[in-house]
Homo-oligomer: A and B are copies of this chain.
């Protein structure tokens, strides 16, 4: 079993920065940025180049959609932290549940706040009207 050192950076993670960038529809600079912030992880080749596995493009695509509902890169990375290496559909399912739940919670807050306004116009006014009685 000591046959070779199992070159991790070649068998498991064949994708370069630009591979991932193309596949996920973002710029290479963004891929590096996301790696720096823990949204995706990479191993390094002997020449110090990043190599990503195929879940990287997936993470980034999801992140872009999640950002649209108000999640920060940090928050998304935290959710992704629950993902194992080589995530299966059910792993993605759990992540999906968390992200959608968060999005719906925020939408519910919006709806609730707006609902108050619809029912009572005064709910949004500034209470304290210390308008002088002089005219």
Contacts and interface: CB of A to CB of B under 8 A. Distances in A.
A106 interface: yes
Contacts of A124: 54-55, 57-58, 61, 92
28 contacts: A14-B131, A23-B126, A54-B125, A55-B124, A57-B124, A58-B124, A61-B113, A62-B114, A62-B117, A65-B113, A65-B114, A68-B109, A68-B110, A69-B106, A69-B110, A89-B117, A89-B120, A89-B121, A92-B124, A96-B114, A96-B117, A99-B114, A100-B111, A100-B114, A103-B106, A103-B110, A103-B111, A107-B107
Chain A residues touching B, range: 35 or more
Nearest to A90: B118
